[in-house]
């Protein structure tokens, strides 16, 4: 009887696995056509910085409007795209689209683009970056690529070569989700990062968890010592903002500052003229 049950459980498990694999294949298949069908879209989330804590740029975040399933989260489809290799085509679209958009803005704000490990390790990544910058006319210093530490692990020496090339172009590099991966401090020293993005899980716990607050403080100090900028992701509440202001941190990203949205939402920021020009219009 136990044996029977065991077999039943196994069959159930097998069936479920089969369903998951099929589901994955379906998404993989659809994703391959998503770019050509125009189903991908970028939304933009403001980032503050500088002395005054004004909006200094945006992060581009990918959205997939699936024809029958509606909007699918990047945390669902990016891993699938990475495994199937579709990320190369998708990532190229993202880079080009984000650079093209930012090049249109009247204000020279920065644009941060997430780049996956698979893209970094593709043999033509640097050439592609050069081509897209040339094609869109975006000043390289306005572009920042965000990569996670996992992008460095597969082939660190290759990653180092590529990232040095990126830096040489004048493009900035941010370490995304800091604190969630291996967070080897030597990565910060070895790789040419300009910026650390403290993962949102830390800020969301600063009130309830002393360690989280201590970690945020320490990483702010670490960045300062290493002459890197540090931005805190996922700022949602006034209390979190007050904590960060007390720590003298003006580089913030999160729902409190602004949710990711269509770029038109932010046209006063991206297209707004100088104060003198605004007065002329009014
Ligand atoms: P990420 O790069 O760490 O992006 C930050 C994520 O946190 C975004 O989720 C953003 O919408 C969300 N977020 C921002 N502020 C807050 C907040 O205050 N509270 C909460 N709860 N969430 C906040 P999203 O857009 O779902 O993206 C998830 C992840 O998918 C990204 O994490 C990134 O790793 C990946 N991703 C998104 N777009 C791209 C892309 O174009 N290429 C690649 N390779 N990955 C992407
Ligand atoms: Mg990011
Ligand atoms: Mg992040
Ligand atoms: Mg992330």
pLDDT value for 21: 87
- Cβ 176 vs Cβ 197: under 8 Å: yes
Write the DSSP symbol of residue 148. Answer: -
User: Looking at residues 71-90, what average pLDDT do you find?
Assistant: 95
User: Looking at residues 164-173, what average pLDDT do you find?
Assistant: 98
Distance from C-alpha of 148 to C-alpha of 104, rounded to nearest angstrom: 28
pLDDT value for 279: 41
pLDDT value for 218: 95
Distance 178 CA to ligand 3 centre (A): 8
Residue 106 has pLDDT above 90, yes or no: yes
Dmax (CA) of the chain? 85
User: Would the CB of 255 count as within 6 Å of ligand 1?
Assistant: yes
pLDDT band at 176; cut points 50, 70, 90:
very high
Question: Which residue, among 226, 195, 230, has the nearest Cα to 216 in the 3D structure?
Answer: 230
**Residues constituting the chain:** 282
Ligand 1 atom showing the smallest separation from residue 256 Cα: 18
As to burial, measured by CB atoms within 10 angstroms (0-12 exposed, 13-18 middle, 19+ buried), residue 189 is exposed
pTM listed for this prediction:
0.92
Q: Which ligand approaches the C-alpha of residue 79 most closely?
A: 1
Helix, strand or coil, per DSSP, at residue 197 = strand
Closest Cα to atom 45, ligand 1: which residue?
114
């Amino acid at each position: 009887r136990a044996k029977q049950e065991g077999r039943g459980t196994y069959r159930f498990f097998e069936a479920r696995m089969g369903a998951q694999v099929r589901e994955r294949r379906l998404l993989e298949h659809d994703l391959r056509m998503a770019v050509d069908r125009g189903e991908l879209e970028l939304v933009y989330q403001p980032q503050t910085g500088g002395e005054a804590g004004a909006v200094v740029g945006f992060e581009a975040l990918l959205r997939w409007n699936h024809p029958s399933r509606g909007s699918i989260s990047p945390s669902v489809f990016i891993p699938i795209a990475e495994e199937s290799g579709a990320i190369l085509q998708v990532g190229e679209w993202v880079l080009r689209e984000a650079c093209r958009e930012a090049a249109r803005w009247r204000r020279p704000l920065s644009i941060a683009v997430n780049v996956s490990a698979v893209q970094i390790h593709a043999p033509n990544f640097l050439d592609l970056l050069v081509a897209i910058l040339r094609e869109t006319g975006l000043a390289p210093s306005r572009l920042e690529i965000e990569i996670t530490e996992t992008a460095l692990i597969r082939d660190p020496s290759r990653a180092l070569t590529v990232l040095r090339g990126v830096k040489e172009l004048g493009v900035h590099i941010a370490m995304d989700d800091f604190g969630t991966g291996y967070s080897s401090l030597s990565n910060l020293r070895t790789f040419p990062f300009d910026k650390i993005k403290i993962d949102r899980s830390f800020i969301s716990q600063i009130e309830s968890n002393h360690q989280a607050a201590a970690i945020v403080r320490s990483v702010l100090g670490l960045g300062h010592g290493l002459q890197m900028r540090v931005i805190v992701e996922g700022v949602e509440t006034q209390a979190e903002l007050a904590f960060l202001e007390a720590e003298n941190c003006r580089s913030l990203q999160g729902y409190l500052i602004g949710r990711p949205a269509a770029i038109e939402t932010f046209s006063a920021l991206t297209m707004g003229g100088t104060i003198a020009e605004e007065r002329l219009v009014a």
